[in-house]
Amino acid sequence: MLQRRATIGLAVLAVVVVLLYELRDVLVPFVAGAALAYVLDPVADRLERLGIGRLSATFLILAVFVLGLLLALIIAVPLAARQIGALAAALPGVVSRIQAIIAENAGPLLERAGGAGTLQDLQASVGRLVGQAGSFLVNLAGSLWSGSQAVVGILSLLVVTPVVAFYLLIDWDRMTATLDGWVPPRHRDTVRLIARDIDRAITSFIRGQSLVCLLLGTFYALGLFLIGLNFGVLIGLLAGFLTFIPYVGSLTGFLLSTGVAVVQFWPDWPWILATLGVFLVGQFMEGNVLQPKLVGDAVRLHPVWLMFALLAFGSLFGFLGLLLAVPIAAALGVVARFAVRRYLESSLYWGEAPLPAALPLAPAPLPAAARPPADHDARSRA
């Protein structure tokens, strides 16, 4: 019976994965709409408790969301696109200037240490590394762009997503109750416990990490703007946005801002060190204040596991994979921890005997009637 259930489960999982891969472009607006409905459901529930009907609350929430999205598309996106284009055009000059600075200051030392060809090799290595990094970023952006537009296009994503979110948000409570009723009664408490843990992990990460990205992006942008760094606001916002992937945002912003600062401020070291200080302070705030307070320990998503999930799902399913990576990673983490707990409580771990209610720290003393005679220990030693 167990083998048959495992076979059926693996077959269903394989079918789901194949369907996700084949329909990854068509499913993007529907998955995005479901994710939007999931995030906004607590807001709709709160408005319902205030006396607003579910339909009116849903319409109000999505109207505010669509209005904010339109303002972002009209105002922020063209400005960001121009800034990104200017930064991409300036990067080759930044690389060339950094190579010239290396040749000017470290050239004599490197030539004495390793011969005349060492400096040229170093410059060539820096050029190849920057070129490969740029090619990787361009290919990644191109794959995500083509993956999200291959069939439905970006327009359908913007149009279909709010409609899907509207209908799902209206029926969200009814759908969850229906799914709960499909669970066999003997397993219902266990499934509810796992579902609550998954919901807590996903919501804590998405809401907490979104606030962390917003606060860090604002801090980086403001700090680099006050320093006077070229493209400082863009680099700061980009670093804050990429903070959703642990360490990627801070590392990207650090490398970009350092390269631009070296080219712009060289040889004025205080401003270069101030640029480095912005990211050091931001990392201290993220690790010691923002992450513990806003995200907390309920998520329990290891950064390595999260980075692997985002990169793997993004590579396999494009933009759809990025939408599904965090929920699936959180769900798998919760299920894995539950399975480990059950294993540690099972006879497979303890042997044939069941798990004791509480393991004694020391052997309990025998009753007086069951104790051996007083001279038993003496005879045993003899």
The secondary structure of 152-190 as a DSSP string is SHHHHHHHHHHHHHHHHHHTHHHHHHHHHHHS-GGGHHH
Question: Is residue 244 a part of any domain in this protein?
Answer: yes
Q: Phi first, then psi: what are they for 299, rounded to 5°?
A: -75, -55
pLDDT score of 152 = 44
Question: Is residue 89 a part of any domain in this protein?
Answer: no
Residue whose token pair is 């760094």: 229
194-232 burial, b if ≥16 CB within 10 A, otherwise e?
Answer: bbebbbbbbbbbbebbeebbebbbebbbebbeebebbbb
CB 28 within 8 A of CB 319: yes
Q: In order along the chain (382 residues), what is the average pLDDT of each group of 10 residues? A: 72 80 77 85 88 87 84 72 71 70 62 54 59 54 47 63 87 87 86 86 81 88 86 84 77 82 80 87 84 68 77 77 80 85 82 52 45 45 42
Question: Is residue 152 a part of any domain in this protein?
Answer: no
Listed residue (260, 186, 263, 170) closest to 224, CA to CA:
260
Number of domain units in the chain: 1
CA dist., res. 288 & res. 251, Å (int): 18
Question: Is residue 296 a part of any domain in this protein?
Answer: yes
pLDDT score of 360 = 45
pLDDT score of 374 = 47
- Per the structure, the complete domain to which residue 303 belongs is given by 187-351
Question: Is residue 49 a part of any domain in this protein?
Answer: no
- Report residue 358 as tokens: 């509480």
Question: Is residue 259 a part of any domain in this protein?
Answer: yes
Question: Is residue 3 a part of any domain in this protein?
Answer: no
Question: Is residue 369 a part of any domain in this protein?
Answer: no
